[in-house]
Structure 1
Amino acid sequence: MKGFKNCVLLMMLGSGAVFGADGSGSVIEDIKLSILLRNAVFDRDFKNGVQDRREWGQAAIAKFTSGYTPGLIGVSADVFGMYAIRLDGGGGRTGSSSIDMFKQDSSGNPADDLARAGAAVNLKLSNTVIKYGDQMPDYPVLSYSNTRLLPETYTGVSVNSKEVQGLELNAAHFTAEVRKGAEGHDSAGLKQIDLLGGTYALADNLQATAYQSWDRGYFKKSYGAVFYTQPLDKSSSITFDLRGYHTSLNDDYAARLGRGDENTIWSLATTYKLGGHSLILAYQKSSGSVGYPYGGYQSLGRPGDGGSTFLLANSFFSDFNAEDESSWQLGYGYDFAAIGVPGLSYRFAYVMGDNIRTPTGDGDERELFNQVKYVVQSGSMKDLSFKVRNSIVRVSRNAAAYNVSANEVRVYLEYPINIF
């Protein structure tokens, strides 16, 4: 890991060219306090004899951010507090690690409620920020999950540098993780993950991203992406989105899984926009001796790098990431602001995957996805949002070890409140 540490040092020293800059803002004037009220329901109707799962809860997520102190090096603090209460999910309906709203105890009983808090300190020099403490990282190779009731959090140090216009660099080192449905770090058991990468705007409509991560004892992962948007006229455009991962598993981890040790997966999505309409066509391909290795929790035998670290086109209920799988997506979206209803949007996708390699032959899967979302635009309930999404997934029986057929409904009601 010597090369990684040297890269972090170079990023920190790179800000030295602007040592004459003063910290901006004020500790008091820039203080922010917000509370997100979130109500979430997950209902999964599994097929082929698999037990159904249903979880429902209410959460309050408070975040406090101070401004930076004046001077050459500005100092600020981030503090968060979270509380969630289970409204449903008893009677044997909890326990799905992929839902994971409320962790079960050793007897299989889900927690009635959860309480969690954390803090981090920030040091700012020019346009470089070093953060230490509890964080919610959002990188292509380590992305905290915020799609359940409470978000995942990680503990460690991160560096974000924007010293060069159009270039953003990131480096991080984390040694602990709190899973979505738990309160303590020991529930995840993350040993150590390091990452380095960044994004560069090559032009106003062209952007490239590259990242590398090292999950100690598990794997090394690389990510690359290119995004290009071409305006066609005032009301239409076409976007090309190419991104992919290459993962090399450590020998011991691959042996423990009883699988291969390498995976490459990529997707290319083309989106044509005309007014409020969006038409999406995407292709995704997985190759190598194993499917894309998810993160997940080390307490469940997984690497511990987050269950949502997968930013490819064909990712809905299924991620279409099995060994050797090929998948196509036909998608459509509509923004009702085009007809005078701002805040209302609709999304549809149909994805079909085949060539899933299994011990019993090639399998296939398909998913029909629908989502409706509305965000209140004004008044006392401004920013209140309501979202419903539904997935219908069918998987061939010889691919049952990879995925399972199910009908899923997710409902979210969120109300962000800015205190000051």
Structure 2
Amino acid sequence: MMKGFKGCAFLVMLGSGTVFGADDLGAVIDDSKLSVLLRNAVFDRDFKHGVQDRREWGQAAIAKFTSGYTPGLIGVSADVFGMYAVRLDGGGGRTGSSSIDMFKQDSSGNPADDLARGGAAINVKVSKTVIKYGDQMPDYPVLSYSNTRLLPETYTGVSLNSKDIAGFDLNAAHFTSEIRKGAEGHDSAGLNQIDLLGGTYSFSNNLQATAYRSWDKDFFEKTYGALFYTQPLSKISSLTLDLRGYHTALDNEFAARLGRGDENNIWSLAATYKLGGHSLILAHQRSSGSAGYPYGGYQSLGRPGDGGSTFLLANSFFSDFNAEDEVSWQIGYGYDFAAMGVPGLSYRFAYLKGENIYTPQGDGDERELFNQIKYVVQDGGLKDLSFKVRSSIVRVSRNAAAYNVSANEVRVYVEYPINIF
């Protein structure tokens, strides 16, 4: 039965017009992988100042199949995925948040009871370069799919990844449609076109540099840069410095529709000191320009459309501390209980304060208290089953309500990855 299922890759690749022999099919089958992720997720947001509370709860199954490559100078493989999610929460008027987006509402305001969708892609490999065409989950600093809800976003297009140059990881991509997290349909997010180019170069095991550029047609152009440096201090301690930043230039017509400025610069610098199981984090983040950072969202809702998780700076939790002219600080702490003989258990805490938020009424401010605890089963029949609970308490000054809103949030995830073969 397993080999019969693996043979689906052979059928998919036949559709590409490629001809295979028996040895080729054997390589495709032997290196194939099938996994299923079972995910149960709850988002509960208790908003303040009269804003409607939001709560969504669902169960999902995400299956991914990857075939092996055919042998030879040019290898061909296939990726196939299928997703299904069912809504467990009754709603009660609390669903429909575009920022949670587990189950999209219809024109009458009713959330979907369930969702089902799938996709496939063909990979062509030459040496250490892979070209992928079809449905994908891109994960770049300038276009990152959101996988922090129930179902992930997916994009359709072509991408290239090359590791042929030692130490250099090169990426390029062109996408023309997007499926939003909580919906079905080919282009439910209304993406027009987005292109990107960039990569990471490792100067050594301790020093890496990253640079990317993206072009989001009729919306904006974005540049990202980062430097990462780790200095071991002893066998059980180290210091890591992490500098990252974005420059975004919005299309003039798009900026005018939003009624905002057309440029943003934002950067963060984080220092992490590790000693045994302990981690201490200090971070500073600063936004400037004529507008705040144009964060994600869907083009069908009038947003930029570069992915729900495309913000890789230090002070990103419930709030991203990325308003116009905002300056923020973070002090964080983490502990890995493996140091106490409890592997799989971890805890993280952070306190963040943002100020100097530009508003017509004067400078605004915000603050957030974040806690997270996670446990991953290490062995036995439920190996890799994980439980994660995170909470945020966010308070925003009244004059900055157009940027963010005060809320108490709790997220609960139960995930069980199953490797079938």
Q: TM class, shorter-chain normalised?
A: over 0.9
Residue 285 of structure 1: how far off its partner (Å): 0.1
- How is 1:356-371 mapped onto 2 (pairs within 5 angstroms)? 356-371=357-372
Secondary structure of the 1:181 match is coil
Amino acid at match of 1:71: G
State the Cα deviation string for residues 110-144 of structure 1 (Å, max 9, x = none): 00000000000000000000000000000000000
Secondary structure of the 1:321 match is coil
State the Cα deviation string for residues 232-254 of structure 1 (Å, max 9, x = none): 00010000000000000011001
The 2-side partners of 1:96 and 1:185 are apart by 21
Using the size of structure 2 for normalisation, the TM-score is: 0.94
Q: Percent identity, aligned pairs only?
A: 85
The 1-side partners of 2:166 and 2:31 are apart by 24
1:90 aligns with 2:91: yes
Q: CA RMSD in A?
A: 1.1
Residue 89 of structure 1: how far off its partner (Å): 4.6
Hey, what does 2:373 align to over in structure 1? 372
Secondary structure of the 2:260 match is coil
State the Cα deviation string for residues 161-190 of structure 1 (Å, max 9, x = none): 000111000000000000000011332110
8 Å CA contact 1:170, 1:198 repeated in 2: yes
Moved more, 131-140 or 251-260: 251-260
Secondary structure of the 1:88 match is coil
Hey, what does 1:404 align to over in structure 2? 405
Residue 50 of structure 1: how far off its partner (Å): 0.2
Moved more, 295-304 or 140-149: 295-304
Hey, what does 2:34 align to over in structure 1? 33
Hey, what does 2:5 align to over in structure 1? none
The 2-side partners of 1:416 and 1:259 are apart by 43
State the Cα deviation string for residues 52-91 of structure 1 (Å, max 9, x = none): 0000000000000000001110000000000000000511
Hey, what does 1:99 align to over in structure 2? 100
8 Å CA contact 1:199, 1:207 repeated in 2: yes
Hey, what does 2:294 align to over in structure 1? 293
Amino acid at match of 2:317: F
1:216 aligns with 2:217: yes
1:339 aligns with 2:340: yes
Secondary structure of the 1:26 match is helix
Secondary structure of the 1:203 match is coil
Residue 28 of structure 1: how far off its partner (Å): 1.0
The 2-side partners of 1:89 and 1:406 are apart by 22
- How is 1:201-240 mapped onto 2 (pairs within 5 angstroms)? 201-240=202-241
The 2-side partners of 1:113 and 1:35 are apart by 18
The 1-side partners of 2:90 and 2:309 are apart by 22
The 1-side partners of 2:114 and 2:122 are apart by 28
Secondary structure of the 2:187 match is helix
The 2-side partners of 1:253 and 1:89 are apart by 37
- How is 1:11-410 mapped onto 2 (pairs within 5 angstroms)? 26-410=27-411
Spell out structure 1 runs of 4+ moving beyond 3 A: none
> Which ranges in structure 2 are unaligned for 5 or more consecutive residues?
1-23
State the Cα deviation string for residues 13-55 of structure 1 (Å, max 9, x = none): xxxxxxxxxx9x9201100000000000000000000010000
8 Å CA contact 1:54, 1:89 repeated in 2: no
Moved more, 295-304 or 353-362: 295-304
8 Å CA contact 1:76, 1:122 repeated in 2: yes
